[in-house]
Structure 1
Amino acid sequence: MTYPHKSRVLKKLGVRSMINACNWSTVIGGTYLEPRVMEAMADVSTTFVDLRELLKKASDRIAYLCKVDAAYITVGAAAGITLSVAAAIAGNDPVKWKTLPFTDVPPISGRNRIIIQATQSAYDEQFAMGGGRLVKVGSPLGSSIKDIESAINDKTAGIAAGYHYNIVPRGWVPYEEVAKIAKKHDLPSFCDCAGAFPPYTNLHKLTDAGFDLSIFSGGKGIRGPQNTGIILGDGERGVELIQAISMHSAPNPGIGRGFKVSKECIVGLVTALEEVLSRDEDEEYEKQMAKAEYMAEQLDNLTGVYVSIVPNDGKTYEHPLMPHTPVVRIDIDKEALGMKTIQSLYAALREGEPGIYLRFPRFEDREFGPFTSRASVLLFTYYLRDGEERIVAERMKSVLTKRPWKKQNQ
């Protein structure tokens, strides 16, 4: 079966087009863009605009769609973390904003500590870029309300959290309790939710739980331009923080000046969000499940291969915060297949035509599972367009049957 989505431009540059059965990882391009998104971006590319007006009205539209009080569009969730840290430290004080990221000197004078649970810290550099000094509480086994409250002092500027599949899945203080602690001590709070979509309700779940801000990638599950992100604010403090971020970010001077979002990407993000939210979430999930079932059926009963479907439905999942999309889990008996390392399978799929990206299970060793010596790979369904599941199944079946690594082992 031929692959219909090959890029002529990439071919000209000597770069290969790939099928994404991995996830919305930054390193493989995030997402594809839907035709309506591309049309909107092309439409605005031919004209000029008051960028402040566009940002304001586009952000208002996003806030409405996400059922929160305010929003700000930036260049990705990582930038959203940096700007949220900056806002927590500087508030609405323009002198403090001009001081950032140098927060150990007056007028900030070291009131730059951002508390986060040790199991939820994943992108430390983004906090530092905003002038923050992370205070990680608890241990790799978890943390408690006492751990968080004991860390609060006159140098504390805010409390952060992570709500995504990169954090260690154990020992969390419930998100509602973290937000309550922040409010009790009159501290700003924000949560990194970069890849926590779908379900659709996650767009307001953390602000509903009491966080002032939540941060999402525009180029993952929303299927907007990869270099976009959204900071969502709710409640009086959330609105004030969004206003402060806007005042000191592009196209204005300030620490956020470098996080410029083009007019094309702004309208592309709004259009992508409108497009994805217009679809019935359950119907979309069922389409993905049908692809998972097809691939599982095609790969079942192969020698040394054990196939199952992980629904990620809140009951059975690979991670408790995994987005609501099913994956096919394939456990590999390497000895039965004459395979020294599971990397041989990844390489065979990447190097074929078309190339296919697979994914490792999170928080498991890549060469053996938690209760078995079998290695595991996952097939992610969210980005498989109609027909791609057939290409993936056909290629996987061919590779697992022909076992090209056996020649390399000789």
Structure 2
Amino acid sequence: MKIRPVINANATLTVLGGSLMPPPVIEAMAAAARHFVDLPELYVEVGEQLAALTRNESACVTAGAAAAITLVVASCIGEPAQSFPVDAEVVMFASQRNGYDYSARITGARIVEVGPSVAELEAAIARRPACVLWFAGAHYADGALPIEEVIRVANGVPVIVDAAAQIPPVSSLWHFTTDLGADAVIFSGGKGLRGPQATGLVLGRSWLIDRCRRHASPNQEIGRGLKVGKEELLGLLAAVEWTLAQNEPALLAGYERSVDLWLDALQPRPGITAYRGYPSEAGQPHSRCIIRHPDRQTLIDALWNGDPRISVGTFGVAPDEIALNPQTLEPGQDRVVLDALLRLVG
């Protein structure tokens, strides 16, 4: 095979494969692959275990976070007997419109935009939409009301939080739902949780999760094509168990040491500027090393075409900057990234 592996100093991007699965996840998936099971029964059992682990009423595994949006919106619209597409409304802040709108609109729902105004949100809620869809992350905060205010104003309309990349912190697993009162929260299974890339996780109220399961494969409903296999079910369960067992403060401290390594070596270099960017591009509680370079694209291309192939970030930085993210690196790869940069910047 001619495909070259990538050292990922960018982020938990789907285009790069999300994240790397730790051994317990791989082992759980391999074990699942060796047996036939009653899949609907396993679906429920894994959900119950995930709910208990994450301090939520209920949980279900989906075929990615985008699939979770479709299933949750469909569940807010109605029972699985409902025909799709339908005429329903999903309220979103105009500033949070993004490429994942399609996951909601595939149900037939119309996106109703509001601004960062309680009055606008109240007017939209008065029309009794199917739900409010709110995106977590620092890059979605401008132009939107805080989630606490959205939940307060919702008045019985379900509030759904997309927090696909909001781990760390691991407390996000219960913060939006159990602590704040959102009806459901969605995570990518293949980002900070380091589970199978083709998984997502919905946590929240039992009535909503029950509907998600009934809308999902193997049922002949809107989610039939969004299939989750036994390998993904057990793999994501193992990933959540593994994540909860980690020492998160030590993990975050390790990220900061990588950023310190880069800054100590790059700040003295003439012709470039290196500084600490905090939080991460998704608002996670760790730094990135931001590098300003007069010919950014040449540097990006040289890293990508080099040996080893290295991907760096461009999201959330200026047009002449790149970002080095420690979250997706294996031990020792921070030094490999630094050595490659030093060869290029002199």
TM-score (norm 1): 0.81
* Equivalent position of 1:405 in the other structure: none
CA contact (8 A) 2:313 2:323 kept: yes
* Equivalent position of 1:386 in the other structure: 331
The equivalent position to 2:288 in structure 1, one of 322, 327, 339, is 327
Letter in structure 2 aligned against 1:271: A
| CA–CA distance in structure 2, aligned partners of residues 244 and 152 of structure 1 | 22
| CA–CA distance in structure 1, aligned partners of residues 127 and 94 of structure 2 | 21
Q: Secondary structure at the match of 1:287?
A: helix
**Deviation, structure 1 residue 65:** 1.6
* Equivalent position of 1:196 in the other structure: 166
**Deviation, structure 1 residue 287:** 1.2
Superposition pairs for residues 335-374 of structure 1, below 5 Å? 339=295, 342-362=296-316, 364-366=317-319
* Equivalent position of 1:9 in the other structure: none
Letter in structure 2 aligned against 1:346: I
- Identity among equivalent positions (%) equals 33
Q: Does 1:163 align with 2:136?
A: yes
**Deviation, structure 1 residue 94:** 4.0
1:166–1:27 distance in 2 versus 1, CA, 3 Å: farther
Q: Does 1:399 align with 2:337?
A: no
Q: Does 1:53 align with 2:41?
A: yes
Q: Does 1:288 align with 2:288?
A: no
Q: Does 1:298 align with 2:298?
A: no
CA contact (8 A) 1:137 1:151 kept: yes
The equivalent position to 1:225 in structure 2, one of 196, 203, 215, is 196
| CA–CA distance in structure 1, aligned partners of residues 223 and 250 of structure 2 | 39
| CA–CA distance in structure 1, aligned partners of residues 111 and 143 of structure 2 | 19
CA contact (8 A) 1:164 1:194 kept: no
CA contact (8 A) 2:75 2:215 kept: no
| CA–CA distance in structure 2, aligned partners of residues 94 and 357 of structure 1 | 42
Letter in structure 2 aligned against 1:251: P
| CA–CA distance in structure 2, aligned partners of residues 156 and 266 of structure 1 | 32
Q: Secondary structure at the match of 1:195?
A: coil
In structure 2, stretches of 5+ residues that fail to align are: none
- Deviation sequence 1:16-51 (CA, Å, 0-9, x none): 100000000111110111112111111121111111
- Give the superposed CA RMSD: 1.5
**Greater C-alpha Rg:** 1
CA contact (8 A) 1:86 1:130 kept: yes
Q: Does 1:116 align with 2:87?
A: no
Q: Secondary structure at the match of 1:303?
A: coil
TM-score (norm 2): 0.95
Letter in structure 2 aligned against 1:124: D
**Deviation, structure 1 residue 134:** 0.4
Q: Secondary structure at the match of 2:160?
A: strand
- Aligned residues, how many? 344
The equivalent position to 1:152 in structure 2, one of 125, 128, 132, is 125
| CA–CA distance in structure 2, aligned partners of residues 258 and 294 of structure 1 | 45
1:384–1:215 distance in 2 versus 1, CA, 3 Å: same
Letter in structure 2 aligned against 1:174: P
CA contact (8 A) 1:86 1:131 kept: no
CA contact (8 A) 1:196 1:216 kept: yes
Q: Does 1:17 align with 2:22?
A: no
| CA–CA distance in structure 2, aligned partners of residues 273 and 347 of structure 1 | 36
1:228–1:94 distance in 2 versus 1, CA, 3 Å: closer
1:270–1:24 distance in 2 versus 1, CA, 3 Å: same
1:51–1:399 distance in 2 versus 1, CA, 3 Å: same
**Deviation, structure 1 residue 121:** 2.1
Q: Compare relative contact order (CA 8 Å, sep 6+) and give the higher one, 1 or 2.
A: 2
**Deviation, structure 1 residue 289:** 1.2
* Equivalent position of 1:408 in the other structure: none
- Deviation sequence 1:256-303 (CA, Å, 0-9, x none): 111111111111111111111101110111111111111222222111
- Deviation sequence 1:97-140 (CA, Å, 0-9, x none): xx01x21xxxxxx3x011111112222111111231100111xx
Moved more, 19-28 or 199-208: 199-208
